[in-house]
Amino acid sequence: MNKKIKLITFDLDDTLWDNHPTIIKAERETRKWIEGEVGKIEWGDFNDFLSLREQLIKDDKSIAWDISKLRKEIFRKKLSHVTPGEYRDNIVDKAFEIFISKRHDVKFFGGVKNAIRDLSKKYILGVLTNGNANIFKFDIGECFEFSISSLEAKDSKPNRAHFDKALTKVKDITFDNMLHIGDHQINDMYAANSLGIDCLWFNINNGWEQRFEKPDEFSDWNKLLRVIENKYE
């Protein structure tokens, strides 16, 4: 029997847009600005980033889900030789502002905006993201009833906090009335599936690697409305 879907929740990064080039560009431009202010910095590689992150989380648990704070604290560590501290903090704040602005310089996948607009006429739409992009900074933000980031959930998907919080945003709703759409096999598909929430996998070119049954998938946003109509209407 088909479920009665009332609420559709969406992941953002790599679901509505290709996140990798956006972040790389934001990172590169922010670093360039910082170096213009204080001179050359040893940024380190991805492994350095991971160990620094681990160290920061040890000192402050909230950094695990507050990725904006994580980014600021990483800048602060990399600028530890810059004095006085007040000047350093100022650079960190400005660098973060630059980063977050560039981070929203995204290119939506083809068909996203129309699909979101069409779906918003029939369903309540929400965002569940582990990232720090803000859907309300885009014109299609007006189609969404709510957005829950890891900062608000104080946790990250695949844990259930985002999904539990979604239920508090909409009247008379249960997980049976929800459909979650995302790209990530664990953070989105496994997370939703393990709560009994229907899910739809946005998949451009990957094989299914999980032990549970592969959910229905789509690779073209222009076809999403039809996929949902066929499944639920």
Binding site for Mg ion (CB under 5 A): 11, 13-14, 183-184
Q: How far is the CB of 22 from Mg ion (least distance, A)?
A: 12
Residues in CB range of 209: below 8 A, 6 or more apart = 185
Please identify, using beta-carbon distances, which residue of 61 and 107 lies nearer to Mg ion. Answer: 107
- Tokens 């600021």 identify what position? 72
Closest separation between CB of residue 19 and Mg ion, Å? 7
Please give the C-alpha separations between residue 36 and each of 31, 101, 126, 137, in angstroms, as whole numbers: 8, 18, 39, 28
Is the distance from CB of 166 to CB of 186 less than 8 angstroms?
Answer: no
The answer to whether residues 192 and 198 touch, using CB atoms and an 8 Å cutoff, is: yes
| CB-nearer residue toward Mg ion: 73 or 188 | 188
Q: Nearest approach, Cβ of 184 to Mg ion (angstroms)?
A: 5
Closest distance of CB 13 from Mg ion, Å? 4
| Minimal distance, residue 6 CB to Mg ion, in Å | 23
Phi-psi region of 123 (alpha: psi -120 to 50; beta: other; left: phi over 0): beta
Of 13 and 66, nearer to Mg ion (C-beta) is: 13
CB-nearest residue to Mg ion: 14
Is 183 or 198 the residue whose CB approaches Mg ion more closely?
A: 183
Taking Cα atoms as reference points, which of 173, 216, 172, 223 lies closest to residue 193?
216
The smaller minimum CB distance to Mg ion, of residues 34 and 181, is found at 181
